[in-house]
């Protein structure tokens, strides 16, 4: 297992990313594979501070371009201080969201141009996941699951059409990069979702 491997988990709110994140952690732990768990926005002291700004309900409206710039500022810290060092040591990286989320949320959801996102990505992201699980399901399902949460962050309070645009942007991105993305139907039972994820993981482990 000398070669590193970078896995990201993507999807709109309410699709079960945390459940898959925990299952991947358990799978790699049982196999004795060194790995780190991280998330976006976040992962470092500075990036976590930016996360608080991004997700909090402040009195001042956050501009879409401000949100995008903060996301990539957080990502620059995360890539340089956490992801690249772990991969350089041969460790696997499991990340709850990565750059694809900006194309979905700031691109699809906020309507910012792909050109701007591509430019910021070229400045801040010089490594991409080897495998991305996209947990996909109807927006109504995600909204229903979010409604059960006691508190909601700024993004979770967005309207239905925002998540529809974000979902479609995710699907478009997955279609354009089929070698990296594995789409999982998140409307299935938790057991079915995890079974599909672990089948994919078993194949990756056999190939390493």
pLDDT by residue (tens digit) across 78-96? Answer: 999 999 999 999 999 999 9
d(CA 56, CA 24): 29
* Under 8 Å between Cβ of 108 and 166: yes
Quote the pLDDT of residue 208.
61
Distance of CA 175 to the CA centre of its chain: 17
Phi then psi dihedrals of residue 134, to 5 deg? -105, 110
What the chain holds in terms of domains, given with CATH numbers, is 6-207 (3.40.50.300)
State the pTM of this model: 0.94
d(CA 133, CA 14): 15
d(CA 147, CA 19): 18
């Amino acid at each position: 297992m000398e070669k590193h491997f970078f896995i990201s988990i993507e999807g709109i709110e309410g699709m079960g990313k945390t459940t898959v994140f925990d299952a991947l952690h358990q799978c790699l732990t049982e196999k004795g594979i060194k790995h780190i768990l991280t998330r976006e926005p976040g992962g470092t002291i500075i990036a976590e501070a930016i996360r608080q700004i991004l997700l909090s309900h402040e009195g001042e409206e956050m501009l879409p371009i401000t949100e995008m710039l903060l996301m990539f500022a957080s990502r620059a810290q995360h890539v340089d201080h956490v992801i690249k060092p772990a991969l350089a040591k041969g460790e696997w990286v499991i990340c709850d969201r990565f750059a694809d989320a900006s194309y979905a949320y700031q691109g699809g959801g906020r309507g910012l141009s792909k050109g701007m996102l591509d430019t910021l990505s070229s400045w801040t992201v010089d490594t991409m996941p080897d495998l991305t699980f996209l947990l996909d399901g109807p927006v109504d399902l995600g909204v229903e699951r979010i409604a059960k949460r006691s508190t909601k962050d700024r993004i979770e309070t967005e309207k239905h059409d925002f998540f529809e645009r974000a979902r479609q942007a995710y699907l478009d991105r997955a279609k354009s990069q089929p070698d990296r993305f594995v789409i999982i139907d998140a409307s299935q039972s938790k057991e079915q979702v995890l079974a599909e994820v672990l089948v994919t993981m078993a194949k990756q482990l056999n190939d390493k």
